[in-house]
Amino acid sequence: MRNEMKYLEKENNTQKVIRTEILFTPFLVFFPLFIGVIFIYDWYNRGVVEGATGFLGTLFLGLIILICNIIFDIPFIKSLRELTYSKKKK
């Protein structure tokens, strides 16, 4: 337990965390958007074009993924940007 606390107390740890978040940002932002668009596209092709009403759940799932991703990613990107710029100014 003592070794874990020493690692957390290092000043360089914040920079490593920021780098890790920056590297994972495209995956955290674009992958759910891509999946949501695939669900909506699948609903359109199978539900609207073919006329099958059983694919309405696919539309709702795609919209939920897109809306939740946008709601949570905008503050995440803003805070990451502010933290990155504040570290560059120092």
For 11-30, give the DSSP string. TTHHHHHHHHHHHHHHHHHH
Higher pLDDT, residue 2 or 20: 20
Higher pLDDT, residue 84 or 27: 27
Identify the band that residue 59 occupies on the pLDDT scale cut at 50, 70 and 90: very high
For the chain, where are the alpha helices, taking DSSP H only? 2-9, 13-43, 56-89
Note down the domain range covering 21. Answer: 2-89
- pTM for the structure as a whole: 0.69
pLDDT of 6 reads 59
Residue 43 CB-density burial (10 A; 0-12 exposed, 13-18 middle, 19+ buried): buried
Q: From residue 28, how far is each of 69, 74, 79, 82 by CA, in Å?
A: 9, 11, 14, 18
What pLDDT, in 10s, does the model give residues 5-36?
Answer: 555 556 566 777 777 888 888 888 899 999 99
Whether the predicted pLDDT of 86 surpasses 80 = no
- Return d(Cα 21, Cα 11) in angstroms, integer: 17
Q: Indicate the number of domains in the chain.
A: 1
Q: Which of 5-9, 38-42, 69-73 has the lowest mean pLDDT?
A: 5-9
